[in-house]
Amino acid sequence: MTNIDYKVIVGLEIHVQLATRTKMFCGCELIFAAEPNSRVCPVCLGLPGALPVMNKQAVEFAILTALSLNCKVAEFTKWDRKSYYYPDLPKNYQISQYDLPIGSTGFIEIPLPDGKVKKIRIRRVHLEEDAGKNIHSEGNFSQVDLNRAGTPLLEIVTEPDINSAEEVRLLAIELQRIVRFLGVSEADMQKGHMRFEPNVNLHIKKDNNEYKTPITEIKNLNSFKALEKSVAFEAQRQLAEFLDSGKVMQSGNKKTLGWDDIREVTVLQREKEEAHDYRYFPDPDLVPVVVNKKWLVEIKTKLCELPLTMQNRFVSEYGLSDYDAGVLTADKAAAEFFDNTVKAGGDAKRICNLVTQTGLKIANEKNCKVSQLGISPQKLAELAKMVEAGQISATASVTIFEKMTQSESAPQQIAESLNLLQKSDEGELEKIVDEVIAANPQAVEDAKSGDKKSKKANGFLMGQVMQKTKGTANPQVVAKILSSKLNKGI
């Protein structure tokens, strides 16, 4: 089965909750985990006579995202009613955009593991409102919480340009970075801010013919792990089904599947509705959106350097590895803090280590951004310079970093107060090295022997010097003096 020639074809639909203060068409405040049905009003409850008013901030966030995805922004678009009945949809229709999306024909670039970049086309970007939430965990009945009803959602639809489960995950990660950099969404998947729906099928070559398996849509995935695993499973399931039954794509409805996280399998939910089943028609209660040049220019000024561009710059300008640059650009605040610190002076790699290995750890413990730790880029650059100059050890820099989050003192002052400044005076250190050599003749002989014992003995002698100086000796200076004396035969 694994030797058959086939290609995985995936198109991805992504729903992004926008970081507005209020809902899409009413003034109800958006608060995560608020008491059920406490953030509702006649508009989002769908009561007769209640009229919607669109959220300008949500429209601007949608346009900003479309621009970042290289989309053509529509000069004119309208609102449509997408009709269907479900308990968490009080109006029995969802306000969405159908034939005139706010953005179209764009693309996103994703970094691949081999260092290459792949371009995935974006078919459309449109705005809509979310439904409420059905709750089935309280007993042998269901409940409905409408706090989420009317939440502004941005739906992003790609072309079927994705060819592996790994690529699907990488695209989702990149899109999360983009919307966070733009500030249009928190993109916290544990809070449901991003949901993914991949459409999967296979193109199979057999006996000089190409066969296409039926397309299936996997609904409401809210983690990168579930997204990747579900696509990988579904591809293998479709391949097995084809080999067993020869089933290929047919006209008619495609299937909608769910993902069972426990069993790690896709499960059939229903036949997929086609567009005409939703009976789309223009919403008579909402005016169209007209994007004039002045408004578009104003929104364009809010574009920032996007994460992949910044990541590539960190590699080319600062000599960072792709991995380190990727870690930094996973969070805009950390990336900008690093960038500003490098510009303030100091070695980029040293600063990267301080930010990623120490700063992010402390920030995570304090539940804040690394830029909110109270350390200015100038002070961190000063700390990095001290390490490079051999004034302090890399280990001491971690201690000083931690103290800097608790004090406004400069790193030099903290190092002095904690006795962390390294001794680099060769005359002073030579006396200590002589004492260690005199006290450890066997280790000296082993170090001079050049055999397997040599490295261990050298390490022992170095350790003895560091112990005598209570860790304040500059290791490079000590190593230089020790090597000179051992090579000369003392």
Block means of pLDDT (10 residues each) for the chain, 490 residues, are 82 98 98 95 95 98 98 98 92 96 98 93 98 90 95 98 98 98 96 96 92 94 97 96 86 82 93 74 96 97 97 97 95 95 95 95 93 95 92 90 94 92 72 86 82 83 83 77 74
Q: SS3 for 216? A: strand
pLDDT, position 484: 82
**Burial (CB count <10 Å: 0-12, 13-18, 19+), residue 262:** exposed
CATH class of 426-487: mainly alpha
pTM, two decimal places: 0.87
d(CA 362, CA 183): 23
Look at residue 300 in the predicted model and tell me its pLDDT.
97
Q: CATH 1.10.10.410 in the chain, residues?
A: 426-487
At 98, phi and psi to the nearest 5? -105, -80
Distances (CA, A) of 34 to 152, 184, 312, 484: 17, 21, 41, 70
Please state, rounded to an integer, the average pLDDT across all residues of the chain. 92
Closest by Cα among 151, 145, 114 to 130: 151
H/E stretch holding 195 = strand 194-206
Strand partners, 196: 14, 221
Per the CB < 8 A criterion, the answer to whether 125 and 65 are in contact is yes
Contact 127, 24 (CB under 8 A): yes
CA–CA gap between residue 356 and residue 192 (Å, rounded): 27
The predicted-structure confidence for 38-52, as pLDDT tens digits, reads as follows 999 999 999 999 999
d(CA 140, CA 146): 20
Question: Nearest-5° angle of CA 111, CA 114, CA 116?
Answer: 45
Q: Are 336 and 371 in contact (CB under 8 A)?
A: yes
Give residue 272's pLDDT.
62
User: What is the rounded distance in angstroms from the CA atom of residue 477 to the CA atom of residue 85?
Assistant: 77
102 residue type, one letter: I
Going by C-alpha positions, the residue among 434, 345, 353, 365 that lies closest to residue 394 is 353
- d(Cα 407, Cα 402) in Å, to the nearest integer? 9
Long-range Cβ contact pairs of 307-313 (< 8 A, separation 24 or more): 307/174, 307/177, 307/178, 307/181, 307/332, 307/335, 308/109, 308/110, 308/111, 308/117, 308/174, 308/177, 310/335, 310/339, 311/111
Opening angle at CA 466, ends 416 and 427, nearest 5: 75
For 435, the 3-state DSSP assignment is helix
- CA terminus-to-terminus distance, the chain: 71
pLDDT value at residue 138: 83
CA distance 445 to 442: 5
CA angle 16, 21, 27 (to 5 degrees): 110
pLDDT digits (tens, 9 = 90+) for 215-259: 999 999 999 999 999 999 999 999 999 999 888 877 556 899 999
